[in-house]
Amino acid sequence: MEFVRLLLVVVHIIGLSLIIGPFLFQVSRKANFQPGLLQIGALVQLVSGLALVGIREAGDLPVDHAKIGVKLVVTVLAVVTVFLAARKQRAAAAGQADPKSPLPFFHATGALAILNVFVAVLWT
């Protein structure tokens, strides 16, 4: 069971890197964002995080439910914002929206992912 938990931690960190890496790479852009990796990363973070909590609960390991609740809310918000950014990006590419319309959602996704890192590390 410990191997599965550690494997899930690795997957969780890879999911985080799929959000923060492309976000930092594209943060200076004013248009033409590529949200695909961010979408995958956000979903990987959500699923692997839930699986990690499940493994901890199943193994009778301590779980800080308040911390997990905050992280879950932040992650769900990140998933929503990245999918809204992708939707706005498609509309902008089709000429139906301002090319800068995905910008707030794109930045919110990156900020929420970074916030989740702070919650994970600093909440003890």
Q: Where are the domains of the chain?
A: 2-122
Give pLDDT, residue 121: 96
What pLDDT digit, counting tens, does each position of 81-107 carry?
Answer: 999 999 999 999 999 999 899 999 999
CA distances from 36 to 21, 67, 114 (A): 12, 28, 18
What pTM was estimated for this model as a whole?
A: 0.92
Whether the predicted pLDDT of 110 surpasses 90 = yes
d(CA 90, CA 79): 17
d(CA 39, CA 19): 8
What pLDDT digit, counting tens, does each position of 10-27 carry?
Answer: 999 999 999 999 999 998
Q: Do residues 49 and 12 make contact, with C-beta atoms less than 8 angstroms apart?
A: yes
What pLDDT digit, counting tens, does each position of 23-78 carry?
Answer: 999 988 877 888 999 999 999 999 999 999 999 999 888 999 999 999 999 999 99
d(CA 47, CA 31): 29
Buried b / exposed e over 66-105, threshold 16 CB at 10 Å, is eebebbbebbebbbebbbbbbebbeebeeeeeebebbbeb
Give pLDDT, residue 124: 86
DSSP assigned state of 66: H
